Amino acid sequence: MRLSRIILVPSLFLLAALAALLAAWLSVGIIERNSQDAVSDALVLQGHEWTRVKTTGLQVVLSGTAPNEATRFRALAIAGSEVDATRVIDQMEVTAAAAITPPRFSIEILRNDAGISLIGLIPADSDRDALRARIKEIAGGTNVADLLETADYPMPAAWDQTLAYAIDALEKLPRSKISMDAQRVAITAISDSATQKRTWESELAARAPGGLMLSVDISAPRPVITPFTLRFLIEEDAARFDACSAHDEVGRARILDAAMRAGLTGDAECTLGLGVPSPTWAEAVVTGIDALARLEGGSLTFSDADVTLVAPDTTPQATFDKVAAELEADLPDLFSLHAVLPEPVKIDGSGEGDGPPEFVATRSPEGLVQLRGRLTDEVQRSATESLARARFGFEAVYAATRLDEDLPRGWSTRVLAGLEALSFLDNGAVVVQPDVVDVRGNTGDPEASAQISRILSEKLGEAQDFRVNVTYQEALDPEQALPAPEECVASINTVLSEAKITFAPGSANIDAEARATIDKIVELMKGCVDVPMEIAGYTDSQGREEMNRALSQSRAQAVLNALLARRVLTSNLTAHGYGEEDPIADNGTEEGREANRRINFRLIGAEDSAEETPDDQAPAEGAEEADDTATEQTNE
């Protein structure tokens, strides 16, 4: 009995202790869960889903990656508001701050008659005073607005070179916008003429530094056409324009549509120009062409507001009168009609026939000019011969004219206008009669027919019949006879593939053996003076990259200097060294290294230019013997 009491009492104490421990453990678990739930809910509700909450006893551990320090502190504060802040353990991390990206340095330059403005961001190391002085010099006393800002970051590679090019372009272009950064220049400008536009485009492309992304958009104003001329003919069931002018796109479309209805086939040019005498120009022209179509032949000439309709000499009088009367009634106000039903014309062309009196001027393919036929008096003979020698050269003119006092009034004007028309022909003849001036021949000027028609309609006056039968031949066109830019590059690279330009090892001195190759390039360059090209120098991969680039630059410049020494115009050429870039063969073999040491010509501004010679051709720059002792200093 006593033993049972002895065992029972300790057992009761042990059970009480275990119950207390169990109660404590359950209480701690409840507190942990409640603390974790409370903190987690508060963080999620306030947008901190990125946090992870864990409880260890009474401690609340926060982990996760905060986007920034401020967010981390806010998460700590939220947790501290739900439980005792001393219980919160911070194990959170903060996202590493991204490296600060340098700004994009760029400038936009605007120039017009009022002055120059500069807007953009430039490196703090830029020589701003020199830039401002250069801009003021270009502005020439007009206003300069310098709105540039600076940033203290490293200057981008090629910044100075690109900026210098942009400023040079600004000096050339009086009405322009130039946008640039270190790798790109975009130029928008207005020129005074189409010729100036082509010249500027060629010069800007030729002077662009190697590797620069260049965009050039130069617009030319419409030409001023004086007099505003259109001449449409139907001969032998074929229709054509000798000259066509319109003042807008809609009017041009209407004129060409009317011409097609009248029998015009194929493509036709109709120049958009300034100087139209009336907004109803297109309406008047369409009305005139429709009238000419009803006559089934003849010519229609507009010279400003003067309209001349010349019917075929076989047209019945009644038909002619009806068409002429309807056309005169239908023409818009301001336009004045002169309708002519000519007598049959016989052109002898000798100047001595039994028919109407004639003056004849002929020009041979060799440029020799003969004057035959009749002139009024010695004064007119002297004036005619003087004009001919001024136009065609003193030694090229042979005169065999005779005097006739009975020639009609205005004969001198007709003769001089005929000689001026002949100057547009490479070969051909002009026959002047009292009732007609006939011009026929071949020309290399695609605008010759329009120019001749404009001259004759202006000089001969209204109601005068003239005929222009001029054929454009591309072979006579000095511009078309020149090789295309792509052909220039391909021809030069072909010469280089046949015989490389070689250099002394480790130097930019051209070997004497390469002179023949240089001379061939000189001959090809005579027809390519306006083609923007880059002389590109390359090396193999031996030696240091910086030395290779410098050596290739020196060799490309040496080729340019050699052309300049032979009196080649080099304003269209630039030299650029690319070092070991763009290998065309394996640098692991001597044959491959020699192939990679080369000079190429590249068309600037064309993606598909012949930059490299085909693999089955010899490379185009000098081969040198390997010099293993020098590969660490120079690339041979």
Q: Once rounded to an integer, what is the mean pLDDT over residues 537-565?
A: 89
pLDDT beyond 70 at 68: yes
pLDDT mean across residues, the chain:
84
* Cα–Cα distance, 403 to 493 (Å, whole number): 62
Q: Which CATH class is domain 229-340?
A: alpha beta
**Chosen CATH of 359-476 out of 3.40.190.10, 3.30.70.20, 3.40.1520.20, 2.60.40.1930:** 3.40.1520.20
Q: With contact defined as beta carbons under 8 Å apart, do 574 and 632 qualify? A: no
Token pair 């009405």 is at which residue? Answer: 175
363/565: higher pLDDT: 363
pLDDT beyond 80 at 635: no
pLDDT beyond 70 at 9: no
Q: What pLDDT does residue 97 have?
A: 67
- Per DSSP, 299 falls in state E
Which segment of 74-88, 108-122, 345-359, 559-573 scores lowest on mean pLDDT?
345-359
Quick: pLDDT tens for 358-416. Answer: 999 999 998 999 999 999 999 999 999 999 999 999 889 999 999 998 899 999 999 99
Which segment of 10-19, 70-79, 262-271 scores lowest on mean pLDDT?
10-19
What CATH architecture does domain 485-630 belong to?
2-Layer Sandwich (3.30)
Characterize the bridge pairing of strands 238-243 and 229-235: antiparallel
Quick: pLDDT tens for 463-490. Answer: 788 889 898 887 777 666 678 888 889 9
Q: Once rounded to an integer, what is the mean pLDDT over residues 64-78?
A: 86
pLDDT category at 609 given cuts 50, 70, 90 is very low
Q: What pLDDT does residue 542 have?
A: 85
**Residue in 73, 52, 63, 66 with CA at minimum distance from that of residue 95:** 66
Q: What pLDDT does residue 476 have?
A: 78
Burial class of residue 83 in the structure, from the number of CB atoms within 10 Å of its CB (0-12 exposed, 13-18 middle, 19+ buried): buried
Q: What pLDDT does residue 350 have?
A: 72
Which segment of 9-18, 287-296, 416-425, 555-564 scores lowest on mean pLDDT?
9-18
> What percent of the chain has a predicted confidence (pLDDT) above 70?
88
Q: What pLDDT does residue 483 have?
A: 80
> What percent of the chain has a predicted confidence (pLDDT) above 90?
40
* Cα–Cα distance, 614 to 236 (Å, whole number): 53
Do the domains at 106-219 and 229-340 have one common CATH topology? Answer: yes
Amino acid at the residue 418: G
Q: What pLDDT does residue 521 have?
A: 92
pLDDT beyond 90 at 601: yes
* Cα–Cα distance, 102 to 185 (Å, whole number): 20
pLDDT beyond 90 at 239: yes
Q: What pLDDT does residue 349 have?
A: 72
The full set of domain ranges for the chain reads 14-94, 106-219, 229-340, 359-476, 485-630
237/546: higher pLDDT: 546
**Chosen CATH of 106-219 out of 3.40.50.2300, 1.10.340.30, 3.40.1520.20, 3.40.50.800:** 3.40.1520.20
CATH, domain range 14-94: 3.30.1340.30
Instruction: Give Dmax over CA atoms of the chain in angstroms.
Output: 177
Q: How far is CA 393 from the centre of its chain?
A: 38
Tokens read off for 269: 């040019």
